[in-house]
Amino acid sequence: MNADLFMPYQLGSYQLKNRFVMAPLTRNRAGEGNAPQAMNVTYYRQRSSAGLIITEGSQISPGAVGYPATPGIHSAAQIAGWQQVTGAVHSQGARIFLQLWHCGRVSHPSLLPDGALPVAPSAIQPEGNAFTFQGLVPFVMPRALETAELPGIAEEYRQAAQNALAAGFDGVEIHAANGYLLDQFIRDGSNRRTDQYGGAAENRCRLLLEVAGAVSKVFGADKVGVRISPLNPFNDMHDSNPQHTFETVARALSPLGLAYLHVMEGAIGSSKHPQQDFDFKKLRAAFDGTYIANSGYDKARANAVLADGQADLVAFGVPFLANPDLPERFAKNASLNAPDVSTFYGGNEKGYTDYPFM
């Protein structure tokens, strides 16, 4: 039987009503103390026609922050705010996972406690700019994490997962993509370590495996997903052999029995695959479990990869941002709302909760 977007799917112990996934989307609209607020509840409730919602990245600790007005999952106020979101989504029959986020080297001292330096696998200053309350400023030289500090990072993820459980989430997604801390460890362009967390690809994915193990103790592995982005150059990222690196990651994750592997197949801000040969079918074959495809998919492409088994679920970002009723629009072949790029990051309800339904 050929699968399509409208068929239900068994994700671990959860029956999803369809194969639409709302991708994690940073919107910079958290309230005081980086806690979710009323308009965030409305935003997620509106998009509950997705089978699975993955929230915007939510920092696991005060030292994990990388942007202004992004939500966290490390304070009582943040847990309470997220409880309102999960309750609203569950009332509409959808499932919701929280994305666990540590920004690593792409943060800025102005965003961190006591003006601390951002941390990284290695002291390599990325090219580009940090987003701060004062506007765009150049990235700083990060501080390389000591080997002895890394169990503490895994513990921060575990505690964040515990908080997500208290907030009513169905599961969590570990953000190991798009140039953030765990991705910085995975790719050799940002990891020059000489300890057991550097060198061979098997070592560079060690911290991700330890985090996945710690988080799985809270939720159970079948309620934990991982997101990767093999080719995304965002945040000055690159790898000398992404095919080998990320097949190694996929094979290492396979025995853990995770909920899914969520793969950003292109680059942020582009529906085209970067100009680099990469065989995503081989990556899928290397992971024994649910595969979520993501990158500029429309209805036709999504149904095509589902029908031939290249993916089990498909994540949509900007289409869900601008079309809260995306599944219904696809079902009726209706036109889509045009996204207002100027309101993607920061602001109020405009360009956030005011996109019209059909």
Q: Determine the 3-state secondary structure of 24 from DSSP.
A: coil
Answer for the pair 211, 218: CB distance below 8 angstroms, yes or no.
no
Q: What type of residue sits at position 150?
A: L
Burial label for 2, CB within 10 Å (0-12, 13-18, 19+), is exposed
> Count of residues for the chain?
358
* Longest CA span, the chain: 57
Looking at the DSSP assignment, which residues form a beta bridge with residue 171? 97
Among this protein's residues, is 297 annotated catalytic?
no
Q: d(Cα 23, Cα 99) in Å, to the nearest integer?
A: 10
Answer for the pair 155, 214: CB distance below 8 angstroms, yes or no.
yes
Nearest to 78, CA basis, from 177, 179, 169: 169
Q: d(Cα 6, Cα 144) in Å, to the nearest integer?
A: 46
Q: Determine the 3-state secondary structure of 330 from DSSP.
A: helix
Q: In terms of DSSP bridges, do strands 52-59 and 20-22 run parallel, antiparallel, or are they unpaired?
A: parallel
Distance of CA 39 to the CA centre of its chain: 21
Q: d(Cα 105, Cα 204) in Å, to the nearest integer?
A: 16
Q: d(Cα 265, Cα 268) in Å, to the nearest integer?
A: 10
Other Cβ atoms less than 10 A from the Cβ of 266: the count is 19
Distance of CA 264 to the CA centre of its chain: 9
Q: Determine the 3-state secondary structure of 293 from DSSP.
A: strand
- Lookup: tokens for 99: 């994305």
Of residues 44, 67, 180, 352, which has the active-site annotation? 180
Answer for the pair 9, 16: CB distance below 8 angstroms, yes or no.
yes
Contacts of 305 (CB under 8 A, 6+ apart): 293, 297, 311, 314
- Positions annotated as catalytic residues are 180
